[in-house]
Amino acid sequence: MGKRGSCSFNLAEFRQIQKKPHIELRANDGSACKLMIWQDPRRVTLAHANCEARCSPGIYEEAWPVMFEPGSGACAQTR
């Protein structure tokens, strides 16, 4: 998404509602916004659903899941 916009999630505004098969967090504000987290040895994947209000206007449709390196937190290599 780069300079076109971003989505922002504050962990304190969510509560964990599921542990398996993936971690799921739901927003405390009563909205349907949820975060889903998967981890395998190569990467941690963060996806979201129904979270338009937490994104820059017009960017939500382009906000795909994000993958991170488990050890460093850097963006994961997809190759």
Q: What is the tally of structural domains in the chain?
A: 1
Q: Is 78 within the bounds of a domain?
A: no
Which helix (H) or strand (E) segment holds residue 1: the answer is none
The predicted model scores a pTM of 0.82
| Residue 37, pLDDT score | 96
**pLDDT digits 0-9 by tens, 23-32:** 999 999 999 9
Q: Give residue 21's domain range.
A: 2-68
Closest C-alpha among 34, 65, 39 to residue 50: 34
**pLDDT digits 0-9 by tens, 16-50:** 999 999 999 999 999 999 999 999 888 999 999 99
Q: Is 61 within the bounds of a domain?
A: yes
Q: Is 9 within the bounds of a domain?
A: yes
Q: Is 26 within the bounds of a domain?
A: yes
| Residue 2, pLDDT score | 53
